Amino acid sequence: MRIHVVFPSVLYRDGADGVERMIRGIEAIGFDGLDMYDHVVMGRSKPSRRRGFYSPNMPILEALMLLPFAAAVTRKITLGTGVLILPQRQPVLVAKQVSTLDTLSGGRVRLGVGVGWQDAEYEALQEDYNDRGRRMDEAIEVLRTLWRDSDASFGGTDYPFESIAMEPKPPQGLNITIWIGGTHPRALQRVAKLGDGWIAQRLKNDPSLDEQVAIIRRLAEANGRDPASIGLQMGLNPGELRRSPDGERRFASLDRMLAQAEAMQAIGFDTFVIDCVPLFQYGRDARFLSRHEGNATRLRWQRQHALHRLGDIEHHPRRTSKIPRGRSLPDRQRYGGGGACRF
């Protein structure tokens, strides 16, 4: 079992020092990976647009700029995206950016990609929203071609090129895993054909989850692939927020997450993602560990002093998070406490 944490971009309010403390702390705790969300812009509500999943004011740092910063202050943790909206980016440039990140991190990159859901974002970037699925398939092939070939050519419809070189190659080469998000039938086909792993949506007790896994495995076999070679990732839902005695909003149930992980392992999920819960829930005295006992893998929380380098995050969660006069920020978007990561 691998446990990743999604980096809380809201920490930008604490400046570079705060971001560095959190990243170092995530590695010190023992997480396996650090993932970044990707949105360049968020569209505000209007009748012609699809309703968003969260506030358009949600701050999101640029993923492929934050991850090199993380690489510079860590040594072991995997660095990834969950997910990078690949069809709204130029894939030759992405290949170079990811290769550079892999070089600077010593081969620690895991790339998660998806087609996205926000037409307003595609419009702002002057990319076609309607053919994003086709371009996604081609872009994945472009990445692997450039990471593999010293004299690279690609005869695609959208991103053709002939006899070019891209150096340096990533240290991992084609071992950079590409995980694909989405639950649409086309996304499942894409995972089975092109993906090293599937990034499923956050657990919602969906009875079709078993069926979706079975579809991926069946399609993988049809494509001549070993279904067991495709990893499965799920986000763990910590439950509803509750008010703790000290007045902070905290995530409700570790037991709930443990039960989810065990249930998901039973159908083949091997990677789990948590939205920065442990660091904010228990502050600097918490430690999150994965423990392997024979064939059983379980999670446990252990009171330790592993996060001393996080400084005063617990005691002064909003000390440097100033809101400009005349503006307000909903409680669900404030930095600090247990609810900082739930927008």
Domains of the chain: 2-333 (3.20.20.30)
What percentage of the chain carries pLDDT values higher than 90?
Answer: 55
Highest mean pLDDT among 6-10, 244-248, 268-272: 268-272
pLDDT for residue 95 is more than 50: yes
pLDDT score at 202: 62
Give strand pairing partners of 271: 2, 233
Higher pLDDT among residues 112 and 328, named by residue: 112
Rounded distance, CA 160 to CA 168, Å?
21
pLDDT at 55: 80
Residue 9 pLDDT = 81
Tokens 């330790």 identify what position?
Answer: 304
Half-sphere exposure of residue 195, counting CA atoms within 13 Å on the CB side? 30
Look at residue 51 in the predicted model and tell me its pLDDT: 75
- Closest to 301 (Cα-Cα) out of 311, 291, 286, 284: 286
Res 207: pLDDT: 65
The yes-or-no verdict on residue 37 having pLDDT over 60 is yes
Alpha-carbon gap, residue 279 to 242, rounded angstroms: 16
CA atoms of 22 and 73, how far apart (whole Å): 10
Own/partner pairs, 60-63, CB within 8 angstroms, 24+ separation: 60/9, 61/7, 61/9, 61/12, 61/36, 62/38, 63/36, 63/37, 63/38
pLDDT of amino acid 286? 36
Structure tokens at 339: 């609810």
Mean pLDDT of 153-182: 97
Closest among 141, 90, 158, 83 to 117, alpha carbons compared: 83
